[in-house]
Amino acid sequence: MHDVMTGFYEPNAIDQSKNLGATFGTTTNIINGGIECGQNPENSKSRSRGEYYSKWLEFFGMPAEEGLGCGDQPYGDFPYAGEGDVVGYWAKDWSWPPKDACAPATY
């Protein structure tokens, strides 16, 4: 979620084909996607959260944003080969000879 909101996440063509972008709606999908996303009409909780966020943007004089909901996004995992399909865990590197290092882990 941090990467989406800070602009580090840059959706590729696969993500864009699933309506996943660097948007507030995508952060909802990351946190609560299986419950609130992929529904038409937009889930009331997702819609309310987006409206609340918009009010805070307005309060702080920030520009309005698009993509506040996630009803048009697949719920749950990001797609295979999308920008979010990266190894997110680290574990001790058990290769031989032994070394004090970490390696990406998919578990």
- How far apart CA 26 and CA 6 sit, in angstroms, is 13
pLDDT in tens, the chain (107 residues): 888 988 889 999 999 999 999 999 999 999 988 899 999 999 999 999 999 999 999 999 999 999 999 999 987 678 888 888 777 788 888 888 877 788 887 77
Tell me, what CATH number does 94's domain have? Answer: 1.10.530.10
Q: What is the dihedral of CA 93, 94, 100, 105, to 10 degrees?
A: 10
Measure CA of the first residue to CA of the last residue in the chain; give whole Å: 20
Query: What is the three-class DSSP state of 9?
Result: coil
- pTM flag (> 0.75): yes
Look up the domain containing 84 and give its range: 2-105
- The count of structural domains within the chain is 1
